[in-house]
Structure 1
């Protein structure tokens, strides 16, 4: 179970009183990643947890950003591309530039993935044909040996 702690208990800043935080271990478990991965993403500027002593505390914003990172990685975006998209976020605006960039990159990635799927399907077909041939050769050799 995740340890969500009110900010008033963890960080003295009263402006964040309504915010809740997740500790690093809980964040790692939630997303199925290692602590090292979270620290790596932090080093790359993709997430920025608050600190309380040596403890990293992740906000809802960090959770949202990690969801985007994980989705981006799953569909084949580089971390650089994910960061570029996240850096376009404008909390005061309508994020039109971010959305256009996201759509453009996603459409290009769809084309790339479709080509990969076609290549995989062709390779699977070739392998199936080879397997059929090998099984046929084996069956005829076993039949010849039995005779």
Structure 2
């Protein structure tokens, strides 16, 4: 495993843009060293970036990702981080369940609207005939 990465190495390896990496750096989530104009990322930066990407995939906001990353404390066995993560997972799951119910309700309303439109079209056609 490499002990450092360039921005292009990380971008290629994690399939993201260098612009995205610079954005996370601007947000204070990554702290690369500088060698002149070149950014040099550590293995810790790579892990942080993986955590950010995973968090985004499961629907966490950038602020939530940042909060979880900042809670990292290997001396405590990461208990606080894990408990917070579990709480956020439960919240996200509840949001998704509500969204699913909302979608199902919308589908029922679309079905009703479609049936009414079809009935109105049939009525119009029979009046014209």
Query: TM-score scaled to structure 1, two decimals?
Result: 0.71
Q: Greater helix share, 1 or 2?
A: 2
1:114 maps onto 2:100 in alignment: no
SS at match of 1:48: coil
Aligned to 2:29: 46
More strand by share: 1
1:123 corresponds to 2:106 = yes
Distance 1:142 1:38, change over 3 A: farther
CA distance in 2, matches of 1:70, 1:122: 31
Normalised TM-score (structure 2): 0.78
Q: 2:72, 2:34 → 1: CA distance?
A: 23
Partners of 1:57 and 1:143 in 2: CA distance: 75
Instruction: Count the aligned residue pairs.
Output: 129
- Once residues 115 and 78 of structure 1 are traced to their aligned partners in structure 2, the CA distance between those partners, rounded to angstroms, is 18
Which of 89, 105, 113 in structure 1 is aligned with 2:72? 89
For 1:102 and 1:51, locate their aligned partners in 2 and report how far apart those are by CA, in whole Å: 32
SS at match of 2:34: strand
1:130 and 1:31 map into 2 onto residues whose CA distance is 45
- Higher-RCO chain (CA-CA 8 Å, sequence separation at least 6): 2
Q: Which stretches in structure 2 are left out of the alignment for 5+ residues? A: none
Aligned CA RMSD, in angstroms, stands at 2.5
- The verdict on how the C-alpha distance between 1:94 and 1:132 changes in structure 2, with shifts beyond 3 A counting, is same
2:82 corresponds in structure 1 to: 99
Which digits, 9 at most, give the CA deviation of each residue in 1:74-116, with x for residues without a partner? 3332222211111111234411111111111211221122112
1:59 aligns with 2:29: no
